A and B are shown apart, each in its own frame.
Chain A
Amino acid sequence: MAYKLIGKDFIPQDVRPKVTGAGKYTEDFKVDGMVYMKMLLCPMPSANVTSFDATEALDMPGVFGVLTADEVPQVEEPGFPMLTNKPRQLGMPIAAIAAETESIAAEALEKIKVTFDPQPFVLDPLESLYPGGPNALDGGNVTGGEIQGGATIGGNKIHNYKWTARDFAVAGDEKMPMGAAPVEWAVGDVDAAFTEAALIIDEPFVTASSSHAALEPRSVLSYWENGKCFIHGSSQSQSWMMPGLARMMNVSLDDLVYIAEYCGGGFGSKATPYPVQGMTAYMSKKIGRPVMLRVTRAEEYHLGGQRPGFQGQVKMGFDVHGKMTACDLYIVQSGGPNRGSGDYSSAAGAVALVYTPTNMRFRGAAVVTNKPWHVSQRGPGQNQIACVIEPLLDRAAKELGIDRIAIRNLNAPEADVEFTNRNSTVTSMYLKDAFSLGADLFKWEEKKKMSGQRNGSKVIGVGVGTAYHSAGSNGFDGLLSIRPDGKLYVHSGVGNLGTYSYAGTSRAAAEVLQCSWDNTVVLRGDSRQGLPWTLAQFGSNSSYTNTRTNFVAATKMKKMLQRLAAQELGDTPEDYDVANETIFHTSNDTKIMTFAEAGSKAIELGGEWDGHEYPDNLNDVTKSAMKKVVGSGLVAAAKDELPKEGSVPGMATGYCMIELDTETGKFEILEYHSVADCGTVLHPKGLEQQLRGGAVMGIGEAVLDRVIYDPQNGLCATVGLYQTKPPSILDVPSNMEMSAVNKPDPSNPLGVKGIGEPAMGCAAAALLCAISDATGTYFNRTPIDPDMIINALSGRPQSFKPLQVNT
């Protein structure tokens, strides 16, 4: 189908403010009477506060107040507290001070007399699973799954789970101890399949925790006006923040104003309401002044979330052709002292889909530790496991004498795939097309011949990587208005993470209504604009989810326009069509109504036309938004009830060539190419950005990003960008090539799927595979650093044991 807007480049409205510096991030706002808040953070990994005296601090000139744990809602373990007297991680907030300046607040913090009773702590999940090992929380050490002994409890409750000493003794240092698992599922019979396998690969692995390291730390500004709570937040999401913040602040949706026009990166860490937002609002309520909390970079490492790390064992069986006939996967996920994310389960799902093993068993445990809050990061689970499986798949290909793309193709799913014990399905699947296109564009056959070529101390390595993410959701609301100024207003509840999907998806509405983009206005970033309910901007879902909501609302709007024209100008709605900001009679030129006239008429008519009446199936957030939109013009609000069966697979493949110096362990990425299966391309430049940006972050995951702890005191040694540096421009190639299969997903009215997350995982995997290709070593660990490469090449043992973490 020929589209006017879909698949075309355009300039989103927020690009210019970004390059001029005019775009306002939370920290850039100033409000009259604003004071600054600073937090007292726990200086050790686990402690109980035994005494607290802020008298001297409160006596200081310029100090407006202190906020303690007793004054804010408390959460049960394993929730993340706003303020607590039982901090269970380094840097967990205990109290906060508001003062005229940050310096006064910081000085006042020094005057608080606080004593701690240090508690046992744990940083390595395996240590916590050892019989008698320390638990990070009072209530236990594992979240999710079955409690020991069998009974199932609610998904996120904390419980005590220990393996036996025998489990550890049998495994030794070289293999993952694999005691009973709180989470387990199986398809087929893995043990039987292994007995018939032509090749078995059985390896332990570790993937490091890593900070999201968004460039903007999570600042918050909050104030109260006429009973309404205003929060300016740094968040990926807009409407998704509303219900959680309203609950946190105990106000109605109508009494919450959430402003997040710009967000300086999130990558999963700013997707949902977070405790410092509530803390700032409670402080503002207490002292009756606007309060600004500027979170520092070091604080961001404690409070900003980390990707959960994995320790595990994977055993894979292959037949002589390279088909994966069995996969036995065990993952212990390292979380913080809080509700874990589902990375380990998502990882298992990814293995089941991307490699379609005939028989599979997954066992897993999500263990809490006294490390910082762990939360989903771009490609949660799928990207970690791509780093584990992909190099081992290369090893299998090598041992079986099969091409590395061929083995991936052989195991790749078709559109009718059923995967995991739930027999999950997908809405579309073009992974094989992506391999085929990628092999052509990257010139795989030529590049493959260069593998191993030496130039002095340097050697060429090539690699291919694959990643998946479930990239789309449904059931949310769309909201449009056409106003007396003759413009189409798309009310977007999507956040502004920097992907421009808020804008790309708004074009779906303009496309349906054949409205020019110049006369389309996207309302966003401030709940007072009247923004409908939609999913958080995470999980690569926005493109899919919100093309659907806008399609549904625009379809409704078109019908309303046709009915309105028929009512005003005569004949039937079917006699009218919509284009160029007019509603016109298809066989009578004189019968025409402009958008401007329709907007005015709707206000005059009221009722169902201008938002006074709306469907009851809308979410409460949308209903609250309707109160702000009502009477502004012709208003169409609708819930997405289009059919959708199965997961929406965003699939990405990456192809990489490196030159590795065998004397230094350093390498340069000579070429990188990525090919995506993201359905119909919605916004070509936006897609390029996601594939390139994902590649950069993937390079970080493969060779840079980690968090290191002092095991004795539990102190984190990586609390600065100079200590754990994200990839710089010098770490990545200056020109990365991007392409897409560009075949539509049938479950989306415009064929669109998401892609942001697998774009990262495939790059990480491709780079790891290229390093393995150049060195002949499979490291079973991320990140790989030059020391590890040198050790491997010189036959020296690594400086860590196979399952050691926090290194």
Chain B
Amino acid sequence: MQKKFNSDRYDPLCTIRNSFSRRHFIKGVIAAGAVAGAAGLVTGCSDSSNNSGGAASVERLVTINVNGRSRPVDVMPNETLAHTLRNKLSLTGTKIGCDRGACGACTVMIDGVTQNSCSILTHTVRAGNVVTVEGVGGVNGQLHPVQTAMIEELAPQCGFCTPGQVVSGVSLLQRNPNPSREEVRQALAGNLCRCGAYNNYINAIVKAAGSA
């Protein structure tokens, strides 16, 4: 049977997805004691950082593996991985475009699988290996072939979605070294680009496929 969806994020056959679903995330936040403000319900503008203390049922000092390094970090129980990466580990390449799992600007890999880090609680990834855009290249600052190709193809426009597109592209090539244009399209389906640079991202990832 030909699979319609090849993206890990949208693959209905992918079981890993269940362990990091939005429902799982919301359950985690509720368990950690986060409360949405009433004003936020009206205007839809509730707080997004979630870093004040809730129920202290989860250990706060945790060690997570990010880009191959063990990083001890003090996290709030309801803190998202995107928040930890950006504000505690200074890995600001991961962007927050919506904080609701809708845009993909915060895409990182967890054990090789792309995830929206705005919708993952940091304390749930203690056992995992997190790779951000800062970690996809070589140790001495060499670029990943996907990054090189994106430069050559002038893929980014404003660049805000680019780190997410890079991570999705790298993840795709790890599991499918020679994707078709359609397979690239499916793999990037969770990464919105308002500038509309989609064709250029596809061109770059197909180009990188040969050398990745």
**Residue positions of A touching B, CB distance < 8 A:** 9, 11-12, 14-25, 27-28, 30, 36, 38, 40-43, 90-91, 101-107, 109-110, 212-217, 262-267, 294, 296-299, 301-302, 497-500, 685-686, 688-689, 692-697, 715-716, 719-722, 725-730, 732-736
Contact = CB atoms under 8 A, between A and B. Distances in A.
Nearest to B144: A19
A736 B191 CA distance: 19
Interface stretch (B12-20, B56-64, B120-128, B131-139): B131-139
Given A215-B192, A216-B95, A720-B98, A109 B156 contact: no
B37 interface: yes
B196 A102 contact: no
B111 interface: no
Nearest to A263: B158
A40 B39 contact: yes
A18 B155 CA distance: 10
B44 A27 contact: no
A732 B198 contact: yes
A215 B160 contact: yes
Contacts of B97: 215-217, 264, 297, 721
A528 B108 CA distance: 35
Contacts of B192: 215, 721, 725-726, 728
A215 B197 contact: no
Given A265-B195, A689-B197, A297 B98 contact: yes
Contacts, number: 237
Interface in B153-212: 153-163, 166, 181-182, 184-186, 188-189, 191-202
Contacts of B195: 215, 265, 498, 689, 693, 696-697
Contact of B156 (A41, A107, A498): A498
A91 B39 CA distance: 10
Contact of B194 (A17, A215, A719, A720): A215
B39 A43 contact: yes
A101 B53 CA distance: 11
Contacts of B166: 19, 21
A109 B195 CA distance: 34
B96 interface: yes
B48 A296 contact: yes
Contacts of A15: 150-151, 154, 156, 159
A19 B150 contact: yes
Contacts of B159: 14-15, 17-19, 23, 262, 264, 498
B141 to A, nearest CB: 8
A102 B160 contact: no
A490 B99 CA distance: 38
A693 B93 contact: no
Nearest to B181: A734
Interface centre among B49, B132, B153, B159 (most CB of A within 10 A): B159
Contacts of B48: 102, 294, 296
Contact of A101 (B44, B51, B105): B51
Given A15-B154, A20-B133, A721-B103, A299 B45 contact: yes
B31 interface: no
Interface of B: 37-40, 42-52, 86, 90-100, 102-103, 105, 132-134, 137, 143, 147, 150-163, 166, 181-182, 184-186, 188-189, 191-202
Contacts of A688: 154, 200
A19 B165 CA distance: 9
Given A693-B157, A730-B185, 11 more contacts: A14-B159, A18-B162, A19-B155, A21-B132, A25-B160, A40-B39, A102-B51, A294-B48, A689-B197, A693-B196, A721-B100
A685 to B, nearest CB: 4
A734 B49 CA distance: 36
Nearest to B187: A729
A721 B160 CA distance: 15
A25 B97 CA distance: 12
A699 to B, nearest CB: 8
Contacts of B196: 692-697, 727, 732
A22 B44 CA distance: 31
A104 B161 contact: no
A16 B184 CA distance: 21
Contact of A106 (B43, B47, B157): B47
A277 B105 CA distance: 24
Contact of A103 (B49, B94, B201): B49
Contact of B143 (A20, A217, A498, A727): A20
Contacts of B157: 265, 498-499, 689, 693
A693 B197 contact: yes
Contacts of A734: 181-182, 184-185, 198-199, 202
A685 B154 contact: yes
B154 A298 contact: no
B199 A497 contact: no
6 contacts: A19-B159, A91-B45, A264-B159, A693-B197, A696-B193, A734-B184
A266 B152 CA distance: 24
